[in-house]
Amino acid sequence: MTPGVQVADLIREDRVSSALYTDPELFELEMDRIFHRTWVWVAHESELPRAGDFRTAYVGRQPVIVSRDRRGGINVLVNRCRHRGASLCEVPKGNANGFTCPYHAWSYALDGKLRGIPYPDGYEDVLEKKDLGLQRLKVGVYAGMIFASFDADIEPLEDFLGGARLWIDRFMKQGAGYPIKVQGEHRFRFRGNWKIQLENTTDGYHFPIVHRSWMASVDAETAGMLSFMTDDNAVTHSLGNGHSVMVMVPEHVDLDEDDGTEQLQARFGHVIEELSRDFEPAKVRRIVRSMHGAGFNLNLFPNVAMSMSFFRVLRPVSVAETEIRHLALGLKGGPETVNRERLRIHEHFQGPFGFGSPDDSEAWDRVQRGVAAGPDMPILVNRGLQRERKADNGDRVSHATDETGMREGYAMWKAMMTDAH
Ligand code: FES
Ligand SMILES: [Fe+2]
């Protein structure tokens, strides 16, 4: 950082310095003051249904293992051996009795306890096994979403989520009576700062521009459903603590509410036909109306978006590199034909060969290439500032194409980075 410049000077309500994307010192500070002090999303419960199931994840740059132990408890453990620090587990997911270090075979239970040390006579009187379990993070679960924190004294997860809880509950209604499950994931990296991605999920403004080719590739009903640019009911709410929600399909905000006027999309004709063999018309309608997921993108600071029908999880790798995981969601125990259709919709937009995400990541790369030229030009986040209004509960509300969600995220960023939160 330039000597004499304070973090607070880099950010105003309507703009941020591009140093936020390029300064390695700021990145280090973010790892410490944001990722190590808040609740970070690590997994969804459906990824760990059985005892012994685990998946690996990251909290900031720290690799962690999320495991389900024999008593059904969920543990988030730092993925570093207590002997000389080797990583214990390098596969994305699996089922195990415990974790054994590849270097000298210290072995740990699913809850992180140090269980075994080969040739233990060399450690007599110099080592207490009970003191050398894997480092455990604090764990919080809300609606199947598993979060972890390095801060043992952090506020309860429910308080941190605050106003976002209502929207998480609404998001889960896309299960149409079935619990939500992760159907699969893919991951990719882009050459840009993590906050470029954080902004993107609440950026309705780019949608018809960057996603023109996607719009042109879908049926007219789907394109019409996502033509929210001039729809006054398409709004963004700030939800506090950096969280926000951007509503793109207002009639799908609460999928339990149905006034019966919406036509089911012709593209799902084959699904309707198949489901109608087993289900009442009302149930078929409920499932099919939820096929595209919820009608909104919910952005949870700092690292997960619940975006219509998938989770987008970001991991800061370095100041100019970010890994993204896209987790496609389906209905646990639900009709196979529905889960298959949902996967196809997901692939069509978010997949590696999809018509959506590759275009997004090109735009993110370009932002980073642009800001690399120097910090003299600020990043504007002022769209819709003049038309923001306060809702009764204090949320700031504006149009879905406005930058209210980004302003909320950056307000939290500033509060955490300056120790005001
Ligand atoms: S580094 Fe893990 S057992 Fe030695
Ligand atoms: Fe996009």
Q: How far away, in angstroms, is 150 Cα from ligand 2 center?
A: 31
In short, whether 118's Cβ falls inside 6 Å of ligand 1 is: no
Give the model's pLDDT for residue 419: 85
Per the DSSP assignment, residues forming a β-bridge with 246 are: 236, 297
In which element (H, E) is residue 337 found?
helix 336-350
The answer to whether the beta carbons of residues 258 and 252 sit under 8 Å apart is no
Please name the amino acid found at residue 177: G
What ligand 1 atom has the least distance to the C-alpha of 85? 1
The answer to whether the beta carbons of residues 64 and 56 sit under 8 Å apart is yes
Cα–Cα distance, 381 to 217 (Å, whole number): 30
Q: How far away, in angstroms, is 38 Cα from ligand 1 center?
A: 29
In short, whether 116's Cβ falls inside 6 Å of ligand 1 is: no
Give the model's pLDDT for residue 420: 76
C-alpha closest to that of 51 among 80, 71, 23:
71
In short, whether 83's Cβ falls inside 6 Å of ligand 1 is: yes
> Which residue has the CA at smallest separation from atom 3 of ligand 1?
104
The answer to whether the beta carbons of residues 222 and 203 sit under 8 Å apart is no
Q: How far away, in angstroms, is 370 Cα from ligand 2 center?
A: 18
**CA dihedral over 389, 390, 391, 397, signed as positive or negative:** positive
**pTM of this structure:** 0.96
Cα–Cα distance, 386 to 323 (Å, whole number): 34
In short, whether 310's Cβ falls inside 6 Å of ligand 1 is: no
Residues 262-266: contacts with CB under 8 Å, at least 24 apart: 262/289, 263/221, 264/288, 264/289, 265/219, 265/221, 265/222, 265/291, 266/219, 266/221
C-alpha closest to that of 338 among 288, 384, 388, 304:
288
CB-side exposure of 39: number of CA atoms within 13 Å?
24
Mutate to test the pocket of ligand 1, among 106, 108, 117 (most ligand atoms within 8 A of CB): 106
The answer to whether the beta carbons of residues 210 and 223 sit under 8 Å apart is no
- Kindly compute the dihedral angle of the four CA atoms of residues 153, 300, 305, 213, in this order, to the nearest 10 degrees: -150
> Which residue has the CA at smallest separation from atom 1 of ligand 1?
84
In short, whether 101's Cβ falls inside 6 Å of ligand 1 is: yes
In short, whether 247's Cβ falls inside 6 Å of ligand 1 is: no
What ligand 1 atom has the least distance to the C-alpha of 104? 3
In short, whether 99's Cβ falls inside 6 Å of ligand 1 is: no
Nearest ligand to the CA of 211 is 2
Give per-10-residue mean pLDDT for the chain (421 aa).
82 96 97 98 98 98 98 98 98 97 98 97 95 98 98 98 98 98 96 97 95 92 90 96 97 96 96 98 98 97 97 98 97 98 96 91 96 91 97 94 98 94 73
What ligand 1 atom has the least distance to the C-alpha of 117? 3
C-alpha closest to that of 190 among 200, 180, 182:
200
SS3 345: helix
Residues 110-131 as b/e (b if ≥16 CB within 10 A, e otherwise) read bbbbbbebeeeeeeeeeeeeee
Give the model's pLDDT for residue 374: 86
Q: How many Cβ atoms sit within 10 Å of the Cβ of residue 328?
A: 22
**CA dihedral over 245, 161, 42, 196, signed as positive or negative:** positive
C-alpha closest to that of 401 among 203, 208, 269, 186:
203
Q: How far away, in angstroms, is 87 Cα from ligand 1 center?
A: 9
Q: How far away, in angstroms, is 209 Cα from ligand 2 center?
A: 9
Pick left, alpha or beta for residue 243 (phi over 0 → left; psi -120 to 50 → alpha; otherwise beta).
Answer: beta
**Which DSSP letter does residue 32 get?**
I
How many residues can be counted in the chain?
A: 421
Q: How far away, in angstroms, is 111 Cα from ligand 1 center?
A: 18
C-alpha closest to that of 272 among 339, 175, 225, 264:
264
Q: How far away, in angstroms, is 48 Cα from ligand 1 center?
A: 26
Q: How far away, in angstroms, is 409 Cα from ligand 2 center?
A: 18
Nearest ligand to the CA of 80 is 1
